[in-house]
Structure formats: structure tokens, C-alpha cells
Structure 1
Amino acid sequence: MIIKLKRVYADYDNADGYRVLVDRLWPRGMKKESLKFDLWEKDITPSTELRKWFHSDQAQNWEEFATRYRIELQSSGVLSRFVDTLKGQSVVTLLYASKNESQNHALVLKSELERELHKQGL
């Protein structure tokens, strides 16, 4: 399985495969009928408390945020359930709204998802 990342505001591409919105909140300025997605997976996102803390100072909080989010993913069981949902897909694109393409939760999620897929032999 290939996992890709893409901002929700980027153009749709057939090569995106199975498109999963991985934001807890609906993206600003995006009409629901204009976003092509297969699944909106709110449960895989950082907790509201963690998200708000991270956004209070993204540059300063990035490393700690990534660590805390990994812990949330690993301790909740949501990651393995998410992998079960994705089984059978050859390409999965995680859609996110963050303007910061180098420090956002989708990067951490992709990394943890790839680790879980490897662990399960997928």
C-alpha cells in the first residue's frame, strides 16, 4: 500500500486512490460537495486538547506534539482499526488542511500508518 499526503485544497487526481480526510474539523472555505473523498476519519486525528496546544505555538511545540500524537495513536487502538479499513487499497491519500506542509499531524499519521502496515506485513 502506498500512502500519500495532499492538502485538501490541491486538485483531485485519479492517482490519489482512496482519499481520506484526516482533519477533525471541516476545512475552511471548502464546500462539502466540492471535495472528493471516500472517508472522513475524525477518530484518527489528534485530540482536541493536543490540537489546540500545538496550534498555540506550532514551531515551538512541533517535536513534543509529534511525540504526544504518536502516543495517542498507539494507545487508543484507532490506528489498527484504521489499517483494517484501508485493507485492499493500493493507494491511500491522506487529505489535510494545514498550510504548514512540513509540520502537521498528517505527517506523523503517515509515518505511524506505514509503521503499522509494516508490522502487519501489508
Structure 2
Amino acid sequence: MTVHIKRIYEPKQDKDGIRILVDRLWPRGLSKQDAAVHLWLKEVAPSPALRRWFGHDPAKWTEFQRRYQGELEKNASAVEELERQIEKSDATLLYAAKDLRHNHAIVLQRFLGKD
């Protein structure tokens, strides 16, 4: 199965498959109906402490990736739930971050081996 990533603010497309929000916080200014999310797996998102530390600072990107992967390795139940969902069909991991090159969805996609 294919796993895509995209900002939740982008329009829904047929190729998205199951749409899974992987942010801990609900995206600002977006209703649940407009988001067209099938599943919200906030447990698989970076911890609040890691999110605050990173602050979307590209200079911290390499270390953020290392720390977040460590969190994922310790969070087997949330990762397993995500893997169960994506094994059934194509999926899109949705995130709200503005930075398309430095966000946790990229790390998560790679961690799952779906990049």
C-alpha cells in the first residue's frame, strides 16, 4: 500500500485513501467536516515537549528526527495501530505544519518504510 503525506489544508483527493491526522493538536481554523479525516491518531505525534523544543526550527531538524524516531520506537502500540490502518489500503498522513520539508509526517513516513 502507498502512504502519502500532505498538509491537512490541501483539498481531499480520491488518491488519498484513508486520511489519518497525525498531529497531537487539531489544526487551527479547520472544521472536522472540512478536514475529511477518517482517523485521528494523536498518540503517534511527537510528544508536547519534543514539539516545543523543535519549534519547527530547520537548524534542529537532524536532532528532531533522531529524537522523534526514539519516541516512535518506545510507542509501539500507537505505531502498530497506524500500521494496521495503512495495511488495508492507500493512506495519507495529514499534518498542519507550514514547513513542507521539516515536519514530523516526513519522519513518520520514513519510520514506517513508506517513503
Aligned partner of 2:102 in structure 1 is 103
Aligned partner of 1:27 in structure 2 is 27
The structure with more radius of gyration: 1
User: TM-score under structure 1 normalisation?
Assistant: 0.87
Distance 1:93 1:11 in 2: 12
Distance 1:66 1:42 in 2: 18
Give ranges in structure 1 of 5+ residues lacking alignment.
Answer: 116-122
2:45 pairs with 1:45? yes
Output the aligned Cα RMSD: 1.3
Please list the CA deviations of residues 61-110 of structure 1 after superposition, one character each: whole Å capped at 9, or x if unmatched. 11100000001001221322321233322x11001100000000000000
Aligned partner of 1:120 in structure 2 is none
SS at match of 1:110: helix
Give ranges in structure 2 of 5+ residues lacking alignment.
Answer: none
Regions of 4+ moved over 6 Å: none
Aligned partner of 1:119 in structure 2 is none
SS at match of 1:6: strand
Aligned partner of 2:80 in structure 1 is 80
Contact 2:18-2:38 at 8 Å conserved across structures: yes
Distance 1:87 1:59 in 2: 32
Task: State the number of aligned residues.
Answer: 113
